[in-house]
Structure 1
């Protein structure tokens, strides 16, 4: 039986990594970190087209590595949809391999984290003034995939409880 994959997605500074770690602990499983975060932290020049392609393959590889360690559920801190969103924004187009893989590499449930958390500064975050823009993009991308997604809002325990409720509801189906 296939392990269900839950993707925690959304714009910058919405708590994806914190939520992913929380959910993995709650469900006693592993979570796939965002490959691009470590990759970009090592860059000494602005991100290139090839970097976007490298991050796409890196995210897929990391997910494949973590899947056998999952305990009945795999939590993914973002997906390579991020590569599409950043490539479209930065370069005006998406690498073809990303476009080809998007409809084939789906997740069972996407938790779209809302932008209702305060912005937290981070050297790898760039667009505090464009949160609504990127939130709209995320919704459009998920709708284009006909993805099963739920918007998670609120702060603190309320946000975590809503995410658990969404996953529990999905698992009961």
Structure 2
């Protein structure tokens, strides 16, 4: 069985995570795992509770598992780009509700990835039906939380900034470094 390298793209909302995942999957001729929260919130509404966040976290893990299996069964490069992980669920839970379910925290300890890409807040915020934080202050706060999390864990990570083209080029360079 081929070993799959897994890279998580994270950061505050509207920082180009999904766009970057798509670009990286295309460049490396591999695959990406979408953010389960979008599907869940579009189906169930944007008024959510901590219990909903736990369902979203479990849904994200299941989606990652299914995407990994699909990639294993394909002829694509064994590299998976993941749009959101349990760090995102932790930050979201704590930022909105001041608490985080132990399942999410335990999963953070258990799950291992090959690298993280932190998307900077230097792209303009774009409104959509699910986004909650258009103001600069929450974006800065959330970015600082993500950066602090990455600074205090052992997996390699890189800050990704600039326009979409610059982000893709910086991310490709970081991924190549991670895989050395």
1:144 to 152, 158, 169: 152
Deviation of 1:89 (Å): 1.4
How far did residue 143 of structure 1 move?
2.5
| Residue 159 of structure 1, aligned match among 142, 147, 167 | 167
TM-score with structure 2 setting the length: 0.90
Mind listing any 5+ residue stretches in structure 1 that lack a counterpart?
none
Q: Aligned residue for 2:96? A: 90
Secondary structure of residue in 1 paired with 2:150: helix
Q: Which residue of 2 aligns with 1:56?
A: 57
Seen in structure 2, the aligned counterparts of structure 1 residues 114 and 99 have a Cα distance that, compared at 3 Å, is same
Following superposition, the deviation at residue 103 of structure 1 comes to: 1.4
Deviation at 1:31, TM superposition (A): 0.6
Q: Deviations over 1:81-140 (max 9, x none)?
A: 221111111221100111111111121110101111011011111112111100001012
Name the residue aligned to 2:17.
16
Query: In structure 2, how many angstroms separate the alpha carbons of the residues matched to 1:90 and 1:47?
Result: 10
Alpha-carbon deviation of 1:79? 1.1
Separation in 1, partners of 2:146, 2:160: 13
Tell me which of 114, 117, 123 is aligned to 1:117.
123
Secondary structure of 1:102's aligned partner = helix
* Superposed displacement of residue 148, structure 1: 1.4
TM-superposed deviation, 1:48: 0.9
Partners of 1:69 and 1:26 in 2: CA distance: 18
Asked if structure 1 preserves the Cα contact closer than 8 Å seen for 2:46 and 2:130, the reply is no
- Residue 45 of structure 1, CA deviation: 5.7
Unmatched 5+ stretches in structure 2: 72-76
Aligned residue pairs total 172
Find the counterpart in structure 1 of residue 36 from structure 2.
Answer: 35
SS of 2:94's partner is helix
Partner of residue 106, structure 2: 100
C-alpha RMSD over aligned residues: 1.3
Query: Residues 44, 99 of structure 1: CA spacing in aligned structure 2 closer, same or farther, 3 A cutoff?
Result: same
